[in-house]
Amino acid sequence: MNPDLQKLQPYPFQKLAALFREVQANPDYRPISLSIGEPKHATPQFIKDALTANLDGLANYPTTAGSDALRNTISEWLGRRYGIPLPDAKTQVLPVNGSREALFAFAQTVIDRSKNSPSVVCPNPFYQIYEGAALLAGATPYFLNNLPEDNYALNFAQLPDEVWQRTQLIYVCSPGNPTGRVMPMQEWKTLFEMSDRYGFVIASDECYSEIYFGEKKPLSALQAAQQLGRSDYRNLVVFSSLSKRSNVPGMRSGFVAGDARVLEKFALYRTYHGSAMNPVIQAASIAAWNDEAHVAENRRLYAEKFAQVVDILKPVLPVTLPDAGFYLWIRTPIADTAFAQALYRDYNVTVLPGSYLARTAQGVNPGENFVRLALVANVAETVEAAQRIARFVSSLN
């Protein structure tokens, strides 16, 4: 067996299940889960219709590159959404089976094991796929702590030059999971300059980009690159998905876009990996990327939930509206694991301890004494969960 598999840590939800086995949930309350970032809003009917109208596509083997129609649709969406020149649909856009699969496979393409001790840099807390991808590609993950005193920014000075010299890939997430922070232009500028200096590839995970509040749309790495004169997107690949935007997590549909040279190699890897998108999913994806009305309604629902939940929790917890995304990242008055366990025991509400989303780096686990709330359920259920959490915190005091 691959010995690198032994380096993988249990997934956060495995840890959470073990934590909850120690207690019994209060049966007086129906269970409400805010722990998993799985969209619960209804899938738009027109996307379902597009799926059923194209079932004949099941009779064909899909190609790795996807259809011209899908790549053109994605390119046009990128141009509309970010106000950038349309990426070349043949060389700068590639459909993928959801961003998770692509984020993992990307490290297998990028990492050169023949070089001495390759490194992959990740934010901390982070989406666990980044670490697993690094380890199974034969690299060592290093972490940049996202700390509240830095407004959760990427503090590149946390790692020594010796690590950056060996870094071949960096994962960034904007809007961030779990903090909801959007990277500003200056941070992108610094990161691009470091990529030029050290030669590493940037994987920008932007799967939460379409869930934001008001009119301020999150900045994309592609936008930042264009505005900084990097029209070739050198050493930059952006990852996006329909799962959160269009409430279709089960469809497993997304794309990568950016540096044509890197995507050529990624497409080669994916050809052997067998990661081609089902033609039926491609047709439904075209319909989804071409419609914005359902995305605006999706944002409206999230905004309604956030407004009510923040009002309920603010008197008892230090809660603020994130830049974007559907998570609240909240400091807890007791240890995060004790908070999550007692809340489940007393009020049958499930939240995720922040320490399960992070690793100890530079002597700190930046997730300790935080919990992540995923506001993915319907409005009434989410509000009820917030009311229970408020009562629980009041009981602690």
**What does the mean pLDDT of the chain come to?**
97
Class of the CATH domain delimited by 3-42+294-396: alpha beta
Cα–Cα dist 258/279, whole Å: 23
Q: Is 201:110 a contact under the CB 8 Å cutoff?
A: yes
Question: What are the φ/ψ torsions at residue 236 (nearest 5 degrees)?
Answer: -130, 130
Burial environment of residue 351 by CB neighbours within 10 A (0 to 12, 13 to 18, 19 or more): buried
Instruction: Give the pLDDT confidence of 112-141 residue by residue, as tens digits.
Output: 999 989 999 999 999 999 999 999 999 999
Instruction: Give the pLDDT confidence of 306-332 residue by residue, as tens digits.
Output: 999 999 999 999 999 999 999 999 999
Q: What is the widest separation between alpha-carbon atoms in the chain?
A: 62
Cα–Cα dist 148/320, whole Å: 12
User: 45-291 has which fold?
Assistant: Aspartate Aminotransferase; domain 2 (3.40.640)
Q: Which two tokens stand for residue 352?
A: 């995720």
**pTM score:** 0.97
Those residues with Cβ within 8 angstroms of residue 331's Cβ, 6 or more apart along the chain or in another chain? 148, 317, 318, 369, 370
Instruction: Give the pLDDT confidence of 9-36 residue by residue, as tens digits.
Output: 999 999 999 999 999 999 999 999 999 9
**Span 50-67, average pLDDT:** 95
Q: Where in the chain is the domain with CATH 3.90.1150.10?
A: 3-42+294-396
Inform me whether the pLDDT recorded for 258 exceeds 90. yes
pLDDT of amino acid 121: 98
Residue reference for tokens 């089902």: 278
Q: Where in the chain is the domain with CATH 3.40.640.10?
A: 45-291
Alpha helices for 167-292 (secondary structure H): 185-198, 221-227, 243-246, 260-273, 279-289
Instruction: Give the pLDDT confidence of 326-382 residue by residue, as tens digits.
Output: 999 999 999 999 999 999 999 999 999 999 999 999 999 999 999 999 999 999 999
Candidates 36, 32, 6; CA nearest to 356 is 36
Angle made by CA atoms 145, 146, 149, in degrees to the nearest 5: 110
pLDDT of amino acid 397: 77
Q: Which two tokens stand for residue 293?
A: 């009305």
